């Protein structure tokens, strides 16, 4: 492997795919957040007829001319999508499908025509469909790397403006930013990233080079600055891995391997990412189920005790059937939760059944009070629109005293105020 890496051609390809990965990842973040992933796909497919037309004009595989032709038709494809959406009743997805199919079809027809020409066989334009990074020359590498570096520098210099454009275009317009110019510049940079990646990855797979690193980074952070950095990093890693795997194997296509590497990085992130990974989500769901079952049993015991005291003036333990009748749980979950509550000292197990301890009574009171606050909140949600309880994880007991007083007044109006603690204090006894 080290010997292969010492070859100049491999080093060029490695450098080109790494810089292409960074630029694609960085710009792909903005395309993803602006919900333009499919537009990027249409751009890459629309570039094929431009490559063919440029070849027919110059009569040889001149990289600069081919990239210019690809950029023009990719931009034309984007303009067609926006025009169709603006002037017709077609939705964006239908316009993208239409433009993508038409441009790619025209590109295939032109490619077939070129291949039938006397010089067509040596043109090597078929490489642009699935990419062939190994065929890149030093000039190609210099062009791709230079454009990629320019795109990265522009993104860094205009990061704040692009951030405003992505998240709040109206606000950006309100403070005097030229949003139309910025939008055009962003689209041009995405087109440029698509065009320079065509020879390495190909028109069919280029969209994955833009989007896969971005969605991978999305699993690791919610901040745009970190997302852009991580996306560029994952793009570079994908380019390096794809090139290093394909280099020692004769005939192995580099472009598809880069995409496979990007997808592997995505699937690993999908599983283990600390914020949104499947493992973390499964753990949180398990904890939520345990917490919910715990709260249900405590509240059931609390309400049973409250009702029993109001009717007979006495406290006692309650059977499994009485607790399950109030808030049913699966037998396995019910038994596990009872065991956990017993270990933590929240309930006592007697011959007659289960009863709250002093500590459990206080905990059950807080659980019941929080759930009844939630009930009041749901019934009168418009009056508490300022609370934003989702951000507080529905913890009503952490609200300011003034807000809790408003909810408590509603509890008293609906006769739902928890009274067991008050009863036990008056009794001075134990459940």
Residue 236 and residue 343 in one domain: no
Taking residues 50-73, what's their average pLDDT? 85
pLDDT value at position 315? Answer: 64
> pLDDT band for position 286 (50/70/90)?
very high
Residue 336 and residue 229 in one domain: no
Q: Are 389 and 377 in contact (CB under 8 A)?
A: yes
pLDDT value at position 367? Answer: 93
3-state secondary structure of 348: strand
**Could you tell me which of 186, 184, 157 has the C-alpha nearest to residue 32?**
186
Residue 263 and residue 309 in one domain: no
Residue 143 and residue 224 in one domain: yes
- pLDDT of 110 above 60: yes
Taking residues 380-392, what's their average pLDDT? 81
Residue 252 and residue 329 in one domain: no
| Number of domain units in the chain | 2
Taking residues 173-196, what's their average pLDDT? 87
- pLDDT of 383 above 90: no
Percentage of the chain lying above the pLDDT 70 cut? 94
> pLDDT band for position 176 (50/70/90)?
confident
Taking residues 391-400, what's their average pLDDT? 85
**E strand or H helix at 353, and its extent?**
strand 353-356
Domain termination site, one of 276, 310, 332: 276
CATH of the domain at 202: 1.10.3470.10
> pLDDT band for position 309 (50/70/90)?
confident
> pLDDT band for position 431 (50/70/90)?
very low
Residue 256 and residue 295 in one domain: no
Residue 187 and residue 67 in one domain: yes
- Structure-block tokens of residue 5: 């890496």
Residue 239 and residue 382 in one domain: no
Residue 103 and residue 57 in one domain: yes
Return mean pLDDT, the chain: 86
Give the residue with greater pLDDT, 205 vs 378: 378
Residue 197 and residue 310 in one domain: no
Q: Are 47 and 203 in contact (CB under 8 A)?
A: yes
Domain termination site, one of 276, 304, 333: 276
pLDDT value at position 122? Answer: 59
pLDDT value at position 281? Answer: 92
pLDDT value at position 430? Answer: 47
Taking residues 6-23, what's their average pLDDT? 85
Residue 247 and residue 293 in one domain: no
pLDDT value at position 26? Answer: 93
Residue 230 and residue 320 in one domain: no
- Structure-block tokens of residue 290: 């345990």
CATH of the domain at 318: 1.10.10.10
Q: Which residues contact 3 (CB under 8 A, 6 or more apart)?
A: none
Domain termination site, one of 247, 276, 305: 276
- Provide the residue range defining the domain that includes 78: 2-276
């Amino acid at each position: 492997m080290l010997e292969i890496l010492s070859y100049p051609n491999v080093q060029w390809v490695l450098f080109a795919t790494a810089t292409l990965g960074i630029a694609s990842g960085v710009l792909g973040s903005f395309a993803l957040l602006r919900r333009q992933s499919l537009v990027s796909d249409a751009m890459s497919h629309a570039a094929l007829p431009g490559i063919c037309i440029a070849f027919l004009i110059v009569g040889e595989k001149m990289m600069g001319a081919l990239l210019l032709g690809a950029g023009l038709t990719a931009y034309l494809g984007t303009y067609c999508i926006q025009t169709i959406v603006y002037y017709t009743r077609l939705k964006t997805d239908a316009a993208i499908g239409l433009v993508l199919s038409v441009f790619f079809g025209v590109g295939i027809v032109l490619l077939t025509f070129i291949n039938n020409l006397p010089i067509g066989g040596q043109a090597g334009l078929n490489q642009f469909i699935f990419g062939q990074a190994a065929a890149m020359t030093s000039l190609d590498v210099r062009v791709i790397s230079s454009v990629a570096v320019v795109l990265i520098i522009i993104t860094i210099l205009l990061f704040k403006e692009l951030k405003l454009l992505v998240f709040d275009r109206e606000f950006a317009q309100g403070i005097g930013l030229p949003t139309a110019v910025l939008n055009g510049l962003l689209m041009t940079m995405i087109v440029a990233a698509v065009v320079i990646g065509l020879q390495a990855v190909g028109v069919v797979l280029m969209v994955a080079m833009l989007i896969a690193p971005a969605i991978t980074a999305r699993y690791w952070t919610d901040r745009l600055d970190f997302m852009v950095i991580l996306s560029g990093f994952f793009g570079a890693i994908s380019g390096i891995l794809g090139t290093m795997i394909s280099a020692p194997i004769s005939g192995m296509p580099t472009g598809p391997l880069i995409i496979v590497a990007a997808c592997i990085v995505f699937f690993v992130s999908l599983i283990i990412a600390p914020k949104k990974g499947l493992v973390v989500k499964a753990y949180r769901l398990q904890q939520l189920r345990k917490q919910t079952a715990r709260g249900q049993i405590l509240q059931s015991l609390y309400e049973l005790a409250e009702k029993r005291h109001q009717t007979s003036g006495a406290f006692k333990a309650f059977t499994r059937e009485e607790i399950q009748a109030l808030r049913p749980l699966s037998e396995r979950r019910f038994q596990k939760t009872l065991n956990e509550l017993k270990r933590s000292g929240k309930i006592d197990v007697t011959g007659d059944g289960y009863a709250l301890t002093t500590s459990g009574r206080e905990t059950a009171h807080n659980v019941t009070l929080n759930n009844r606050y939630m009930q009041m909140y749901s019934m009168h949600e418009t009056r508490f629109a300022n609370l934003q309880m989702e951000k507080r994880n529905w913890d009503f007991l952490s609200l300011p005293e003034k807000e809790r007083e408003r909810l408590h007044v509603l509890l008293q109006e609906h006769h739902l105020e928890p009274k067991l603690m008050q009863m036990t204090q008056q009794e001075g006894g134990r459940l």
